[in-house]
Amino acid sequence: MEQSAAKPVRLSDASLHLAAAVVGRPQYERRAVTPGIVHFGPGAFHRAHQADYFDRILVRDPRFGICAVSLRTASVRDALLPQDGLYTLLELDDSVSVRVIGAIREFLVAAESPRRLSARLAAPTTRLVTITVTEKGYCLDGAGNLDLDHPDIQHDLATAGDPRSVLGWIVRGFQLRRAMGLDPYTVISCDNLSDNGGKLGRAVWEFASRIDPPLSGWIAEHGRFPRTVVDSITPATDDALRDRVAALTGLGDAWPVQREQFAQWVIEETDDPGLPDWQNFGVTVSKNVREFERAKLRMLNGAHSALAYMGLLLGLETVCDAVNHPLLRMFVEKLLAEEVEPSLLGLDFGQRTAYRHAILRRFANTTLRHRLEQIAWDGTKKLPIRIFGSMIDALDGGRPAARLIAILAAWMQFVRARANAGVEIVDPLGPELGERGLRTNGDGAHDLPLFLSLPNLFPKRLADDSGFRRLLVGAYDRMTSRGVSCALELTFKPMDSK
């Protein structure tokens, strides 16, 4: 009878010496590391991004080990605790690098160990609280303010000593530290949320003001909530990754992570003297985080949307496929250089150019299969922040905007095609988009009003602009009659956008 292959030895402190020679290892004594960071949300992105930075910082400064906190679920803890918190990071590029990350020194599940978490937040050694809980974890309303109707917020306001939300725990930690005469920790949001630090700080202050007004004054005076920009494509972990890691390292890992080689972390400058020496480890510290955020949204994310809608209409599947399509690549290059970058005056020409080149290199990474379908989801949420701002700035400045408008036309054609094919449109307005898509006939003059009437999508500046509507109808009609390639052909001729 055929025997199954033996399972590899599980990764741990005790087995790390058995790892293959190609495997990078923590270059510090893990037993000397102090958990100086409480991190909420130890999912794949945190472990592939921020924990990697801290793993390198620990070589020089052992004060910044991580206490990884899940609010309710124990899956990460249960996977990595038998591994002593170690896990494998694969960086995917033309060549693959593999490292074992050792920065996480403690795991807590808030719902199971509230006293231990309270003690860790109140510890004099705790210098930072970092967060990756996705936008919904902040319990904000549509305007970006604290949602007082959120069930977790209502619970936490009623029982302040037993929080369920991240905001409740942050305030609980502040409350304990103030009572003990300790300085507050700096709180760093690492989620892709516009003005993340500003919104988080205002929500924390609002929460505190309702349970302890003197505490809210203390937070307003001493609290620090720097804005950030974080970026690195991090595909999900699956069994194929686990098998690949075992083959590369010779050790079994229950939850390895992978990302592209490129990683960006921009943190707003603060006056906290207890922070790490970020800049020596690849972190950008800046007073101008808003411009970095705008560049990411308009250049990286805007180009992603262009590739997604046009690429899908061309029958392509991945970002790599799309950016290697000659006409589509040229379209995106000119879109960024001529229509998007001129609106980013807070960054100098060299910064914008270098970022554009980095984006195109990342998109062409053949080791990542970033599906266009996924990028195309939630268009009514993404297009206003990725495309409309650049479009309005270009139109107001008398600059070309025809390629930006062509992206919007491609989205409309995408909605029309999906609706008529009976394919679900993944979007908060999915039912409305499906209903309108079925009513389209391919004629821009007929179809555009169906999209303009979508609630809270088009800003008045665009909806009321007859020149914008004329250009959008023209781009849409050309795609109907000749296909999306017509928009790409605009790359090679002067742009009429006035």
Q: Which two tokens stand for residue 320?
A: 């790599």
**What is the overall mean pLDDT for the chain?**
93
Q: Which two tokens stand for residue 332?
A: 């995106």
Least confident range from 94-103, 147-156, 349-358, 487-496: namely 487-496
* Predicted local distance difference test score (pLDDT) of residue 369: 82
68: nearest Cα among 49, 42, 86, 31: 42
Q: From edge to edge, which strands make up the β-sheet containing 228-231?
A: 228-231, 264-268, 284-286
Calculate mean pLDDT across residues 30-56. Answer: 97
Q: Which residue has the higher pLDDT, 494 or 256?
A: 256
pLDDT tens for residues 324-334?
999 999 999 99
Contacts of 323 (CB under 8 A, 6+ apart): 307, 329, 332, 360, 363, 364
Burial 348-362 (b: 16+ CB within 10 A, else e): eeeebeebbeebeeb
* Predicted local distance difference test score (pLDDT) of residue 5: 64
Determine the Cα angle at 46 with ends 40 and 51, to 5°.
100
* Predicted local distance difference test score (pLDDT) of residue 485: 84
User: CA 246 from chain center: how many Å?
Assistant: 28
Least confident range from 56-65, 156-165, 440-449: namely 156-165
* Predicted local distance difference test score (pLDDT) of residue 95: 86
Which bin fits 33, alpha (ψ -120 to 50), beta or left (φ > 0)? beta
Instruction: Flag whether pLDDT at 497 surpasses 50.
Output: no
pLDDT tens for residues 113-169?
999 999 999 999 999 999 999 888 999 988 889 999 999 999 999 987 889 999 999
* Predicted local distance difference test score (pLDDT) of residue 493: 57
Q: Which residue has the higher pLDDT, 4 or 153?
A: 153
Phi, psi of 16 (to 5 degrees): -60, -30
- C-alpha 251/C-alpha 234 separation (Å) is 22
Residues 177 and 121 sit within 8 Å (Cβ to Cβ): yes
What pTM did the predictor assign? 0.86
Name beta bridge partners: 371: 318
* Predicted local distance difference test score (pLDDT) of residue 496: 47
Least confident range from 44-53, 373-382, 458-467, 488-497: namely 488-497
Cα dihedral sign, 424-428-433-434: positive
* Predicted local distance difference test score (pLDDT) of residue 495: 45
Amino acid at 197: G
- C-alpha 489/C-alpha 144 separation (Å) is 40
Residues 245 and 253 sit within 8 Å (Cβ to Cβ): yes
* Predicted local distance difference test score (pLDDT) of residue 7: 86
pLDDT tens for residues 188-232?
999 988 899 999 999 999 999 999 999 999 999 999 999 999 999
* Predicted local distance difference test score (pLDDT) of residue 200: 97
* Predicted local distance difference test score (pLDDT) of residue 71: 97
* Predicted local distance difference test score (pLDDT) of residue 494: 47
**Strand, coil or helix: 33:** coil
Instruction: Flag whether pLDDT at 4 surpasses 70.
Output: no
pLDDT tens for residues 289-337?
999 999 999 999 999 999 999 999 999 999 999 999 999 999 999 999 9
Task: Give the domains, in start order, of the chain with CATH numbers.
Answer: 16-287 (3.40.50.720), 290-492 (1.10.1040.10)
Determine the Cα angle at 366 with ends 364 and 372, to 5°.
70
Question: DSSP letter string over 303-339?
Answer: HHHHHHHHHHHTT--BHHHHHTSHHHHHHHHHIIIII
